[in-house]
Structure 1
């Protein structure tokens, strides 16, 4: 007897226990399941919005599940053919169960950007989302319904013509009913939809299917886009005066750090106790990210495009800041401890930290950011002339925040040593996240110490900025990746630090008082990084924008000229 004959016979016997069910009832049942179970999140959000209104029509409120049901029937009917129905909806249910868990537990919204973020997440990070609760959820809302679907014998139309007529009717009737609901409550739906556009991105499976199609189109259909060079005229300005030392810059890209949890940005807890002891360290108070996920923000930071006109497809087929600096003759190097440089370092010397190479810093498939200091002296020594070193940190990447800092930096307790963060108390979650911010602060301080040790040989400067922020349960949202136009401040306001040696300040004619005022009162964003780095490295090019260079307004000549043009203040 073949090895698999018994399971097959058991499966067939189980199928025979049911009488064949007309495929139309199966479609309606699937529509009900998606409308009431896998769209639990959007229905809950919809009724939460209604609860905040002074008054609303009860018929309008009652119509929402029927709108989802009717819409699902219309969308599902074209996929009700023999040999297609079961595998197609099995895949849809399984992916819907995963998406539903992410939306309900973490407040994630699935659009093209989130799909891109999911696809480009490495395996170690993906596995960090697995836990007992997520497994039970997936089994209960995904695996079990799929098994029932395959066990269910389905009766299909006897002829192609009959099937065509039935399916047309299956789609026409819901459309007529849908039109009736729209006629009664169009104004109500238009008002709620216009004021809460995120609702449209929470409807499953339309959200993640549409996002996936858009991602595939962008990633593969547009892959034939010609590659663009940037800053071909880049060259370094020859200094006529100065101390003669080459410049060494650390450009540190943080991960998932939000300004709201940084002591130097006004947070009440001591999360900046290491950097605040460093003379000359400046914390910029108002800085906005380009995106809410690494896959968007990192390419945007290193792109010559501003956030307002940023195009991810163009960026993925263009040279980056690192390429432009290298063209000018600056020695560049990228050190990676996160999810990759997203194309920004593809054409320059780079190294990706591998956990197996650094057991003293790494465990559970991830490495603490102190690993970035290991071998750094040798890597800098191997470079020549002016040097730009970019360090991409693991930072505060969730949901396994507790893996981002060593035990000796477990400062705020009790913390949350688990990935299903929604099951920790709010204080435990905050403690864990704050520990990551405090540990990143420690790593930044160590990097500044390293630059201080180089001051006799180089003019040194450090620029740190996080790629995006993080939600910790505010308004029911966790993690990051919300569509930018809907994203809360927690996901878009990020910390940025600047430190410069006395040699660099003197060589570039920087007025420290001016720079301190800029950090305290100015408004900045990821748009400032591109030109600031070019300015630091003395690179002249047509893609340099002086107005976005953080240091440019504080060069002594510029600063003094501005002071002289200001009207004198006279007392009474």
Structure 2
């Protein structure tokens, strides 16, 4: 059998169309590709403009023409008869992925989100690839790529090609300018009041954001972090006082709204609620809406109040300052690393743990962070901080974050494809994961209660929150300026052993009183320095949450 036998039943015109290989100028291809992107790959942009911003027809036409002309101009700068097909092939595939995730979760592809994507480990990435990708890839990548490679690109002499290309680029700029003038006042208001919309324009969003991330990252080997707090030193402990041990549990994607201790309609923190010595902070604001932003920020002296991403990422962290002061530091990770805040310090990844009770060959439940921890706490007279970085409620596979025994709220969403679940099922799975986080924290506190060689304390805080369908938003990573409270309000609790409270001169009733006041990730840096009684020029006592409730020891 040959191809002609397969297509023989088709009408002659259809057969001729299948055999045809049209010849088009590269400029026409650039314009057609731009039109395809604008129409087929920007559903969330148009939905946002119509449903959320209530744009009128005039503004919609202006945005359509402006986006199409500008993207055609940019394509005209890079496409040639030799580069057009390979570059557009890559663009079609990448844009299909981008359009799918923007449409499914309404994520904004700003530089922070792109950085988060680049720092995502293969396990996290695998959870985002499922059957829901088949149709978007088929419609937005496979079919246009098949059509692309059927085309022939017109040959021209070099002088003629240069003149035509220049005319095309000028025409696209004129068209973009004309569309801007057509609805100048409305476009200006859109750019002023809804700046985040530009991160919905695909593929410009991820291309511009990726270029910003790459330009902000110097090429070559990773540069050493710039030192901070080299003057740090611990005040001497009182005679006979035991060394301090602080376990800092860094949660993942838990939002304050679903935290039982905060008055949530469900008791998702029953084990912590049963403890009388817990201090709960119900009004805590995160530095960012993604791990890539929040983790470096919360361990930095610069923080959200003086936010400078480049400065934060290029300098050492709180953990380095503590090491300068003589505190032993250990980071145990069940997530995607420490985002450089533990560079050069003791680090243990639990990603490859094989405990059959806690691991399934791909992921481990967060109790794995406690496995073997006691052996790592052999006392040597020095103070210690141990950071436990949880997998927590990392989505969209909430159902994989807890063992079957914690499947309390049902029916649950037992798939990564959140679009296949009702909002109730999604919230049930999410709350089950919170319930398990409560159990892990309770087990950690029990371990600390039984430390005979240390005065112990625990701090738990989540790095950012999560959207579970409110305003059609899912997951996290919305630009901080417009992020909903579900993504920026996080739970935080503290626990202190009697010995630690005595050594700090800490009034726990006072702590419970001030815990209701607003706090943020910015308070963590000075508070932890204060807990270890570290003196350094970068310590800010006004932001130390414990300072007001301590007797005059320093």
CA distance in 2, matches of 1:60, 1:352: 51
Q: Is the 8 A contact 2:254 2:393 kept in 1?
A: yes
**Aligned equivalent of 2:495:** 499
Are 1:544 and 2:539 matched, yes or no? yes
**Aligned equivalent of 1:413:** 410
Q: Quote how far apart the aligned CAs of 1:305 are.
A: 1.6
**Aligned equivalent of 1:326:** 323
CA distance in 2, matches of 1:407, 1:446: 18
Q: Is the 8 A contact 1:361 1:371 kept in 2?
A: yes
CA distance in 1, matches of 2:359, 2:36: 44
Are 1:444 and 2:447 matched, yes or no? no
SS of the residue aligned with 1:304?
A: coil
**Aligned equivalent of 2:176:** 178
| 1:501-520 C-alpha deviation (Å, 9 max, x unpaired) | 11111221111221111111
Are 1:45 and 2:48 matched, yes or no? yes
Deviates more, 1:427-436 or 1:319-328: 319-328
Which of the residues 192, 195, 207 maps onto 2:193?
Answer: 195
Q: Quote how far apart the aligned CAs of 1:355 are.
A: 3.5
SS of the residue aligned with 1:366?
A: coil
Q: Is the 8 A contact 1:15 1:152 kept in 2?
A: no
**Aligned equivalent of 2:522:** 527
Are 1:268 and 2:265 matched, yes or no? yes
Deviates more, 1:111-120 or 1:311-320: 311-320
Q: Is the 8 A contact 1:291 1:484 kept in 2?
A: yes
**Aligned equivalent of 1:147:** 146
The residue correspondences of 1:35-434 to structure 2 (distance < 5 A) are 35-51=38-54, 57-156=56-155, 158-221=156-219, 227-240=225-238, 244-363=241-360, 365-381=362-378, 384-434=381-431
Q: Quote how far apart the aligned CAs of 1:539 are.
A: 1.3
Q: Is the 8 A contact 2:243 2:381 kept in 1?
A: no
Q: Quote how far apart the aligned CAs of 1:223 are.
A: 6.7
SS of the residue aligned with 1:286?
A: strand
Measured on the aligned residues, the alpha-carbon RMSD in Å equals 2.1
Q: Is the 8 A contact 1:73 1:170 kept in 2?
A: no
Q: Is the 8 A contact 1:415 1:432 kept in 2?
A: yes
CA distance in 2, matches of 1:214, 1:416: 36
CA distance in 1, matches of 2:224, 2:446: 43
Q: Quote how far apart the aligned CAs of 1:533 are.
A: 1.2
Decide whether aligned partners of structure 1 residues 50 and 447 sit closer, same or farther in structure 2, where only a CA change above 3 A counts.
closer
Q: Quote how far apart the aligned CAs of 1:214 are.
A: 1.0
Decide whether aligned partners of structure 1 residues 469 and 368 sit closer, same or farther in structure 2, where only a CA change above 3 A counts.
same
Q: Quote how far apart the aligned CAs of 1:306 are.
A: 2.1
Q: Is the 8 A contact 1:128 1:400 kept in 2?
A: yes
| 1:160-192 C-alpha deviation (Å, 9 max, x unpaired) | 221122122222223333333322310011112
TM-score (normalised: structure 2):
0.93
| 1:217-261 C-alpha deviation (Å, 9 max, x unpaired) | 1223497866411111111101346x6121111111001111011
Decide whether aligned partners of structure 1 residues 270 and 474 sit closer, same or farther in structure 2, where only a CA change above 3 A counts.
same
Unaligned runs of 5+ in 1: 1-12, 559-572
Q: Is the 8 A contact 1:355 1:363 kept in 2?
A: no
SS of the residue aligned with 2:461?
A: strand
Decide whether aligned partners of structure 1 residues 69 and 391 sit closer, same or farther in structure 2, where only a CA change above 3 A counts.
same
Decide whether aligned partners of structure 1 residues 218 and 61 sit closer, same or farther in structure 2, where only a CA change above 3 A counts.
closer
CA distance in 1, matches of 2:220, 2:111: 15
SS of the residue aligned with 1:334?
A: strand
Equivalent residues, number: 539
Are 1:468 and 2:471 matched, yes or no? no
Q: Is the 8 A contact 1:471 1:491 kept in 2?
A: yes
Q: Is the 8 A contact 1:15 1:153 kept in 2?
A: no
CA distance in 1, matches of 2:484, 2:92: 30
**Aligned equivalent of 2:24:** 21
Q: Is the 8 A contact 1:43 1:64 kept in 2?
A: no
SS of the residue aligned with 1:125?
A: helix
Decide whether aligned partners of structure 1 residues 249 and 496 sit closer, same or farther in structure 2, where only a CA change above 3 A counts.
same
Deviates more, 1:273-282 or 1:158-167: 158-167
| 1:438-474 C-alpha deviation (Å, 9 max, x unpaired) | 11011111111111112x4321110001111111111
CA distance in 2, matches of 1:293, 1:418: 22
SS of the residue aligned with 1:495?
A: strand
Deviates more, 1:528-537 or 1:353-362: 353-362
SS of the residue aligned with 1:274?
A: helix
CA distance in 1, matches of 2:60, 2:202: 19
Q: Quote how far apart the aligned CAs of 1:207 are.
A: 0.9
Q: Quote how far apart the aligned CAs of 1:115 are.
A: 0.9
Deviates more, 1:217-226 or 1:532-541: 217-226
CA distance in 1, matches of 2:443, 2:261: 17
TM-score (normalised: structure 1):
0.90
CA distance in 1, matches of 2:76, 2:171: 12
